[in-house]
Amino acid sequence: MKKLFLYFILVFSYFCSSAEKKKDDYIYVYNVTGVNLIDAELNAKRKILEKGLGELVEGRSQVIDAELKEKVVNSSVEGFVIDFQKLGPARKDQALTVIDAKGKVNAKAIEDALRQRYEDIGKPRFLMIIEEKLNGVASKPGQTVTENEIAATFTEFDFLDREQFIRILAKEGGRPVGVYGNSNLEDKAVQAAAEMGAEILLIGVSETKNIGEIENSGLYSIQATLRFKFVDVGSARIIASENSTGAFPHVSPDTGSIEAIKKAVGKAHPKIREQVSQKWKRGTTIRITFEGISYDEFIDKGVEQTIRNIPGVNHTSVKTSSNANNMIVMEVQALFSGTMLYQKMRDRRSDFGFNFTQKEVKPSVIYIVVTK
């Protein structure tokens, strides 16, 4: 009898623990209101999804933008919330219906939505120009050890054709050497990067030195020094910078230089990645130029607010305006490229209160001509 009693206790404990575990899979919401029962249930699903979405994003250290959250939460009836159950009878609070409910979040559906959003944002498109000297000998621009190592190490970035960039830079009146620290050449490099549709420009200098033989070992101590900065092409602002060093002993100074540069790039990688990702959370910066509209009309028609209301746009600011030639320049931070932003603006033409056409549309630059 005693054994039978213990058996029932164990079985009861098992089912209790299982029930508790199952209960933990649910998200509970209370006192959710709606104009009717259907509306209250929809609002309850949204609240369940908001909680589950927050936990998922927080647990995986992901970044979620307002547009994605709104898209997912407002689509809760399409499979994001499963096993939804109303707890107890609905109640009335004056004209509103009040319910308690529970449900599970479909993590896979949310992950698919998050993955699609990050694919829509895409990897930032990079161009780089590194001036390099290996043990006192200048490397050919566009074919440096440092550039190759950066491209191989920073796999989270999408690097564009460096040779074409150098050709466009020359056409803009710039040159591939002496850019770092020269504001005039840096401006030309940014213009050339915009021409190619890049979003971030990496400018830097790299140098290796042979410090000498290490105590009659036949090994030479080669030290590399890197200095570079990352420039947002749309705003021409520096979003990250880093100085890094690396050393490597080798019988061959040339091979030692390559290995020292690898060490320096590897050391800088996590710091640069963190700096860029922090700035990239708000999206890429897109410079929009309006031609043919006065600043007064720009304000009266609420152009900036119309653009700010586009889902995925996180920030807008007017940089310059001139009533003399009806030119207005503004910067927009958005979770998509300038090409997509212009498409979204065209979709909302009626909201602007005027017609417009594009003179130039690139990932980081939009030039718009206002037509009456």
* Candidate ranges 37-51, 87-101, 165-179, 205-219; pick with highest mean pLDDT: 87-101
Burial environment of residue 362 by CB neighbours within 10 A (0 to 12, 13 to 18, 19 or more)? buried
Secondary structure of residue 31 in the 3-state scheme: strand
Residue 271 is predicted with a pLDDT of: 84
pLDDT above 70: percentage of residues in the chain: 81
Dist CA 144 CA 267 (whole Å): 18
pLDDT above 90: percentage of residues in the chain: 33
Kind of pairing, strands 220-232 and 238-250? antiparallel
pLDDT tens digits for 230-256?
888 877 888 888 899 999 999 898 899
Cα–Cα distance list, 160 to 125, 166, 173 (Å): 7, 11, 20
Q: Is the pTM of this model over 0.85?
A: no
User: Residue 291 is encoded by which pair of tokens?
Assistant: 């031609």
pLDDT band at 73, cuts 50/70/90?
A: low
Among 74-88, 141-155, 196-210, the range scoring the smallest mean pLDDT is 74-88
- The string of DSSP letters for 19-38 reads HHHHHHTSEEEEEEEESSHH
Residue 4 is predicted with a pLDDT of: 41
How many residues are there in the chain?
Answer: 372
- What is the rounded radius of gyration, in angstroms, for the C-alpha atoms of the chain? 29
Dist CA 158 CA 168 (whole Å): 19
- The string of DSSP letters for 238-277 reads EEEEEEEEEEEEESSHHHHHHHHHHHHHHHHHHHHHHHHH
280/127: higher pLDDT: 127
pLDDT band at 86, cuts 50/70/90?
A: very high
Sheet holding 27-34, edge to edge: 27-34, 96-105, 81-93
pLDDT at 129 over 80: yes
Measuring CA to CA, which residue among 139, 161, 140 is closest to residue 151? 161
| Average pLDDT estimate for 152-174 | 84
Mention every residue, 6+ apart, whose C-beta is less than 8 A from residue 169.
Answer: 129, 175, 176, 188, 189, 192
The vertex-157 CA angle with 126 and 317, nearest 5°, equals: 60
Mention every residue, 6+ apart, whose C-beta is less than 8 A from residue 38.
Answer: none
Measuring CA to CA, which residue among 304, 308, 320 is closest to residue 283? 308
Secondary structure of residue 226 in the 3-state scheme: strand
